[in-house]
Structure formats: C-alpha cells, structure tokens
Structure 1
Amino acid sequence: MSLLVVEDDDIVRMLMVEVLEDLSYAVIEAQDAESALKVLENPDQTLELMITDVGLPDMDGHDLAKSARGLRPTLPVLFASGYGADVDVNEGMHSIGKPYTIEQLRDKVSSILGPRSAG
C-alpha cells in the first residue's frame, strides 16, 4: 500500500516524500491534480492515504478530494494548507497547517493511519 502526495512545490513535495519514506511508507508523487487523478483511477494501485495541497494550480485541493472520494470512497485525505484550521474537512478528511514540522507531519499521518516504525 502507498501514500499519494499531491504538491506543486517541488521542494516541499521532495521533503514530504523523504519524511514519509523514512517512516517506511511507499510514496507516489504527483505535482498536480491531473497526475493524481491518473493514480487514483488505476484500480491496481492500492492507497492508504492521499495528502494534498489545497492550493494546486490546475484544481483546488477540495475538488481533487471530492473526485478522489468519488473514485475511492474510504480513502482518507489529509489537506496541507497555509490556511491551517480554516480548511473545511468532512468525515475521513483531516488537515495540517503550513508550515509544519517533520514531527507534526509524522504525528498527523500516524494519527490517521496508526503508528509505523521506521525501517
């Protein structure tokens, strides 16, 4: 199983992927919503969580989450937003405010999926 990280900022995406891989997650990267939807539409790709920026250039993160949940109704979504607590979330959706620390990202993902040992 994998995590899908959708982030248009190359450096932020690289750091997120590095942190998540250090936590023993397999990570699929997408730089925009269109790329993310291709992953989500692949029935052979198992996903545990989608982490998405709210401010994507080609589609709002909320719209991406709606599309994702249409394709995969039980997929948890974690919004990463500079707007912090102002992000509206529904059941199975969570948010983390930017900027966040490595520990905050680790703790948030662990709170959603359960703890995972590095390995």
Structure 2
Amino acid sequence: FKIYLPRVDEAIESLKPGATRAEPTQGLETILLVEDEDVLRALICKILEMHGYTVLEARNGGESLLICEQHKGPIHLMVTDVVMPKMNGPSLAERLAQLRPDMKVIYMSGYTDNIIIHRGVQDLSTAFLQKPFTPDALARKVREVLDQRLS
C-alpha cells in the first residue's frame, strides 16, 4: 500500500505578522428562527446547529410568539424573514421586544431594499442578510450581531 503525494517546490505560506485569523463563528446561544418557507427554514436551522447554536423554529409570527412565551430560558437572537403572511418581521420584532427586550434581531429577505424599507426595516446596515446568502455569511452575521452590545 503506497500513497503518492505531489511534490511542492514552494514554501507553505504562513500567517503574516499582523494578519489575523478569521473570527470564530461558533456559539452556544439560543436563536429563534422565523421563516415561512419550510425548506429554507430547515437549511438555516441545520447551518446554525452545525455552528453550535440551539435553534427554536417557527413558521410565522404566531408560532414565534408562542415559543417566546413558553420557552423558559433566554433567547439571544431572532433571525426572521421580513416578508411573511399575517405578520411581517419588523412587526413581529416589535411585539417580541415587549416579551424579550434583550433579544437581538437579524432580518433576512430576498426582496429589494425599497420593498424591505416599505415593510418597516429602517436600518439595513448591521442586522440584515440579503437572500440568497452563504452558510458562512449567515454564521458571520449571527456572531457579529450576538457580539454587539445592546444600545
């Protein structure tokens, strides 16, 4: 049994002094995921769980309100679609802020900025993910928002 490895003539590049490694995207926090599309919700849930998070899933605003009322532990972050039937993401976040004032929010949508702003999301800078996004972009945004101090 033999293994042949390709010959490498160049030295392997190490991290240059002053360069930083990628920020860790793992966590132990609890995340409420609100997404009306079943396949997308399952995929996002799997990505978040692979990064160590506990995920509570809801199909809509009504389910997420029930989860927030019944869940005994903290919910650190809500990741919600902006455009959903019955209750949109910003309206849901406003309602849940009364139950869970420390819970942070990330909005996600496949719609254009104009429609999103029309639906009530005013600040698209730090708490927004444009669909489609990569698993890495999701993990980085979640970690970034969780690490921000509440203002």
Instruction: Give the structure with higher Rg (CA).
Output: 2
Instruction: Please name the residue that 2:145 is paired with.
Output: 112
Normalising by structure 1, we get a TM-score of 0.85
Normalising by structure 2, we get a TM-score of 0.68
- Structure of greater relative contact order (alpha carbons < 8 Å, 6+ residues apart): 1
In 2: Cα distance, 1:10 partner to 1:73 partner: 27
Identity of aligned residues (%): 36
Does 1:44 find its partner at 2:72? Answer: yes
- Tell me: CA distance 1:82–1:38, structure 2 relative to 1, closer, same or farther (3 Å): same
Q: Structure 1 stretches of 5 or more lacking a match?
A: 115-119
Q: How far does the alpha carbon of each residue in 1:71-90 deviate from its partner, in whole angstroms, 9 at most, with x for none?
A: 11121001011236554239
Instruction: Please name the residue that 2:16 is paired with.
Output: none
C-alpha contact (below 8 Å) 2:76/2:102 kept by paired residues: no
Does 1:18 find its partner at 2:18? Answer: no
- The amino acid of 2:136's aligned partner reads E
Q: Structure 2 stretches of 5 or more lacking a match?
A: 1-28
Instruction: Please name the residue that 1:117 is paired with.
Output: none
* Count of residue pairs the alignment pairs up: 112
Does 1:27 find its partner at 2:55? Answer: yes
Runs of 4+ in 1 over 6 A off after TM superposition: none
Q: Which has the higher strand share?
A: 1
Q: Which has the higher helix share?
A: 1
CA RMSD of aligned residues (A): 1.9
Q: How far does the alpha carbon of each residue in 1:22-77 deviate from its partner, in whole angstroms, 9 at most, with x for none?
A: 00111010011100000112361321100000111120111000001111112100
- The amino acid of 2:128's aligned partner reads S
- Larger deviation: 37-46 or 20-29? 37-46
Q: 2:128 pairs with 84, 95, 101, which one? A: 95
